[in-house]
A and B are shown apart, each in its own frame.
Chain A
Amino acid sequence: MDTKPDIYKVLMTLSALFLLLPKTEAQGSYDSLKLQLPKHYFKTVIVLDAYRKPEQSIPDTTDFLSKKLKSYGVNQFIFSLNTPIATFERPQYDSTQPKKNTHLLLTANYMRLQPIFDGIQTHSLVKTGIGIRLVVNSGKKGIWFIDTAPFVTRDATYANSPAEWRMANTIVYSHNKSEKFNWRIGITKSFMWGNRNYLPFIGLRFGRLNKTHLSIQIPRHISLNVPVNDKFTMSFYTKPQGGMWNFSNRDSVYYLGNASTFHFTRYEINTGFRADVRVNDFFNFYVALGFSTKNNITFYSEKENSKNKNVPYKKFFYEQDMPATGFFNLGLVFKFGKTKSYIGDKNIYDAIDLNNTVGGGDDNISNGNTQIPIAPKKATDLNLKSVQDLIDYNDF
């Protein structure tokens, strides 16, 4: 039997289908205009964050190092960048399927921490990192968030101070039961609590992200957020802050061995009030004030400890709990780039919130979710420029 004619028929039919299919799409005329639409849902966000905690005398007066260090305070500056690299949309979705998209983002951060010890020279401990995060929006209820944030720490006070690589990671599944209720579960590898810890990530949110809501995101933060109006949001929060840095031994703080560098770790719990001011679509700032409690600092030498097999590597040669004190935090947030519209899209709102909850570089700072728009109470102060795409001359 000759099958060639059948093959030709099949090929002809398939070719005709491929040729005709695009024409069945009503947007042929739209495509012919070759208009450029925004590619991403996330803006490029730059945060400049300054944090200060006043000096306090070290309460212990008996230990040799306590006497040498005398007091402890913190000056901290963070530069954080978060930018979308690629956005993948579900190809050819139709209205019967939810819109699915995947976002690849780049994070970069620079932190300069100055622990102020009155008895020794002020050290500038630097942490620099660049990371990647992936946000997978199923379009239905769930979002997957995967973040990997490698970073380097070194004591920048001295040019030849060695650096050390570390890595913070987070994987979270976030489930939007509704706009008003969300739960999250995952795991995070973080240095927020002074040392490397693998911690479960458990999150609960009650309330819509653009309205008053209570957000419990353990171990990142617990916050009550109240948008007073479209320009101003108040928050009451508690969150840990800390990390691990290389610390040069030029001051002979480590007097038990000959290590040139050892580790300095710190953590604290900050509880306070924060005000976020949305100046416009491109800029906002925040001011936070509160109490810093559970203050802890440690010094230990991994190198020296490793020589002695009976000593666990994390054994501290110095550990001190400090009394509670006040803190001050100021942040400037710059947002760049046009995005695809995501108004009312609860999954994109949640993706933005996840991206901000897990601040870049394990620094645990948040830019305040100001990419999620809040509706003004009235349409009275809208300028004409912002509505020109919605109304026509003939509408007047």
Chain B
Amino acid sequence: MICSIFFFAPKVFSQGERVEALRAEFIKKKVEMNASESEKFWPVYNEYNDKVRALRRNVRQSFKKAPDNLTEKEAEDLYQLDMKSKQAEADVHKQYGDKIKGIIGIKKLALLRKAEEEFKEILVKSAKEN
């Protein structure tokens, strides 16, 4: 029974690993890093993504959980959380941007951002088609 739950309900479960793997392949193609850069870059970049993902997930889940008839205080708390999270995300971008710049240099950092935007476009296109 357990097996059938896992086997027949794949859509229920996350397929995030495949997206991440696809993104990594895309970045590797677009930003040519040498072995030493790659060795340092991926752990830092992964940590950066974990933090951004956690921030966005937290805001999304908080809004999702909120009732439709929320009180003034609840609405204010949500607003504060949203603002704090956006500020934190900006801080994380800055902190890790500096770290990544230190590893791959400013030119490749620009290429990385370009690749991220291009990958996002692919995802949006894929999401629209599905």
**Contacts A37-B50, A95-B103; A379 near B21 (Cβ below 8 A):** no
Q: Which residues of B contact A94 (CB under 8 A)?
A: 99, 102
Please report the total number of B residues contacting A with Cβ < 8 Å. 66
A382→B10 contact, CB < 8 A: no
A94 to B43, CA, bound (A): 11
A341→B39 contact, CB < 8 A: no
A383→B11 contact, CB < 8 A: yes
Q: Which residues of B contact A95 (CB under 8 A)?
A: 40, 44, 98-100, 102-103
Of the stretches A26-34, A160-168, A199-207, A361-369, the one at the interface is: A26-34
Which of A32, A283, A344, A385 has most B Cβ within 10 Å? A344
Q: Which residues of B contact A210 (CB under 8 A)?
A: 21
Q: Which residues of A contact B85 (CB under 8 A)?
A: 33
Contacts of A356-381 to chain B: CB distance below 8 A = 373-376, 379-381
Q: Write the nearest CB–CB distance from A110 to chain B, whole angstroms.
A: 17
Residue B56 is within 8 A (CB to CB) of chain A in the complex: yes
B57→A341 contact, CB < 8 A: no
Q: Write the nearest CB–CB distance from B21 to chain A, whole angstroms.
A: 4
Contacts of B34-64 to chain A: CB distance below 8 A = 35, 38-40, 42-47, 49-58, 60
- Mostly, the B contact residues are helix
Interface string of B74-98 (1 = CB under 8 A from A): 0000000100110110011011001
A379 to B123, CA, bound (A): 7
| B60: nearest chain-A partner, CB-CB | A388
Q: Write the nearest CB–CB distance from B27 to chain A, whole angstroms.
A: 8
Residue B24 is within 8 A (CB to CB) of chain A in the complex: yes
Q: Write the nearest CB–CB distance from B125 to chain A, whole angstroms.
A: 8
Residue B15 is within 8 A (CB to CB) of chain A in the complex: yes
Q: Which residues of B contact A346 (CB under 8 A)?
A: 38-39, 42
Residue A68 is within 8 A (CB to CB) of chain B in the complex: no
A283→B7 contact, CB < 8 A: yes
Q: Which residues of B contact A25 (CB under 8 A)?
A: 95
Please report the total number of A residues contacting B with Cβ < 8 Å. 58
**Contacts A27-B92, A384-B127; A344 near B24 (Cβ below 8 A):** yes
Contact of B21 among A33, A374, A383, A387 (CB under 8 A): A374
**Contacts A30-B51, A139-B43, A343-B46; A375 near B18 (Cβ below 8 A):** yes
B14→A386 contact, CB < 8 A: yes
Q: Across chains A and B, which 3 residue pairs bring their CB atoms closest together, nearest first? A: A283-B6, A341-B46, A99-B43
Cross-chain pairs A/B with CB under 8 angstroms, 15 sampled: A27-B91, A27-B92, A29-B87, A30-B88, A33-B55, A95-B98, A95-B99, A96-B102, A99-B44, A139-B43, A140-B39, A210-B21, A279-B7, A384-B130, A386-B15
Give me 6 other A-B pairs in contact (C-beta within 8 A), A344-B38, A345-B42, A396-B124 excluded. A95-B103, A282-B13, A344-B45, A345-B46, A380-B129, A391-B124
Interface residues of B (CB under 8 A from A): 2-3, 6-7, 10-11, 13-25, 27-28, 35, 38-40, 42-47, 49-58, 60, 81, 84-85, 87-88, 91-92, 94-95, 98-100, 102-103, 120, 122-130
